[in-house]
Amino acid sequence: MTTLDFTTHTVPLDGKAKISAKNVNLWYGEKQALHNINLEVGENQVTALIGPSGCGKSTFLRCLNRMNDTITSCRIQGDIRIDGDDIYAQALDVVHLRARVGMVFQKPNPFPKSIFENVAYGPRLHGLAESKDHMEHIVKSSLERAGLWKEVSDRLQSPGTGLSGGQQQRLCIARAIAVSPEVILMDEPCSALDPIATAKIEELIDELRENFTIAIVTHSMQQAARVSQRTAFFHLGVLVENGPTEGIFTNPVDKRTQDYVTGRFG
């Protein structure tokens, strides 16, 4: 392998940054997975992270709610702030962080419990509901916001795993928003879904943008183009280009971005 090109082209964010990452480096054991990442995620925007497999986009996403903590060989350096709070500070509790930063995963992974219990899990964990009625309200409104209420209102007690793939993923989104996070991270949320279910999720993402800041990792450039306002392109652990989605897909600055979005890699 030739030497890495560490240049980053950034079109500055106009508007408020919700998350700002500065000089983030990350190692898995001896191997460096992220090289000096500087990225801002705008408030109430959808920021798409794209790039080939193993480029570090998922790794970076997982830095934002410290899911990488569970990997013992993982070492991280740099500064990541949400609304100015350093999320890797000693004083900050990771449970607190994850209540602020929800996550939706690649494979729909509802708990093998009832639909109600799935959504109620987070609020129960963090003690958000004051009464049974309050909990029911939280569950209902979360399912409504996830666009699932109409489909499941008559079978809240049936298992969440019995839903279709797309419904399961929306259930996972409902579960994530039930604790009223500020940020929702999505790690390829549609990769296991059919186009109609994907379209529903994309529509949902667009609606959620009003209340949440969303960062989404996706392998589908079309999806990134459809749902995001800003796009960040990662390659070999380097943030190559970061700017408004339109610019990335019509007129990328960097040759690597150009090659990737036009399908000239490999």
Partner 1 sequence: MTDVAGKFTVEPFSASAEKRERFNRLLKKRYAAEARFKMWGIVAVSVAVVFLVLLLGSILLQGASAFSTTKVELELYLDPAVIDPQGTKDPQTIASADYNQILRASMSKLFPEVQGRRERRDMMSLLSSGAAYEVAGHVRDNPDLIGQTIRFEVLTDDLVDMLRKGYIERNVPEADRKLNDFQLGIYDKLVATGALGGAFNTELITTGDSREPENAGLWGAVVGSFLTLVVTLGIAFPLGVMAAVYLEEFAPKNRITDMIEVNINNLAAVPSIVFGLLGLAVFLNFFGMPRSAPVVGGLVLALQALPIIIIASRAAIKAVPPSIREAALGMGASPLQTVMHHTLPLSMPGMLTGAILGMAHALGETAPLLMIGMVAFIVDIPSGFSSPATVLPVQIYLWADSPERAFVEKTSAAIIVLLLFLISMNAIAIYLRKKFERKW
Partner 2 sequence: MAATHTVSAFDAELNALKTKVLRMGGIAEANVAAAVQAVMRRDKALAERTITSDQRIDVFDSEISELVTRLLALRQPMAIDLRFIVGTLKIATDLERIGDYAKNIAKRTTAIGTAVPTQPMHAIPRMGEMVLSMVKDVLDALSNEDVEKAVAVRDRDAILDELYNSVFRELLTYMMEDPRTITGCTHLLFIAKNLERIGDHATNMAEAVYYIVTGNRMYNDRPKADVTAEITDPSQIA
End-to-end CA separation in angstroms for the chain: 14
Which of partner 2, partner 1, none has residue 65 at its interface (CB below 5 to 8 Å by kind)?
Answer: partner 1
Question: Of residues 216, 221, 227, 239, which one binds partner 2 by CB under 8 A?
Answer: 221
Which of 65, 142, 168, 257 is close enough to bind partner 2 by CB under 8 A? 257
> Does 95 contact partner 1 by CB under 8 A?
yes
Contact present, 10 and 2 (Cβ < 8 Å): no
Among 13, 26, 138, 172, binds partner 1 (CB under 8 A): 172
Of 140-159, binders to partner 1 (CB under 8 A) are: 159
Short-list 233, 182, 250, 231, CA closest to 47: 231
Helices (H), 178-251: 195-208, 221-227, 245-250
Report the partner that residue 103 touches, choosing among partner 2, partner 1, none (CB closer than 5 to 8 A by kind): partner 1
CA dihedral for 257, 258, 260, 265, sign (positive or negative): negative
> Is 91 a binder of partner 1 (CB under 8 A)?
no
Closest by CA to 113, choosing from 144, 132, 139, 145, is 139
- Tell me how far apart the alpha carbons of residues 97 and 81 are, in angstroms, rounded to a whole number: 11
Strand, coil or helix: 86: strand
Q: How far apart are CA 54 and CA 88, in angstroms?
A: 24
Stretch that binds partner 2, among 36-44, 176-184, 234-242, 243-251 (CB under 8 A): 243-251
Q: Please tell me what DSSP assigns to residue 203.
A: H
Query: Per-residue string for binding with partner 1, 15-54, x by CB under 8 A?
Result: ----------------------------------------
Rule CB under 8 A: which residues touch partner 1?
65, 67, 70, 72, 94-99, 102-103, 105, 107, 109-113, 121-122, 125-126, 159, 172, 175-176, 179
Rule CB under 8 A: which residues touch partner 2?
221-222, 225, 249-252, 257-259, 261-266
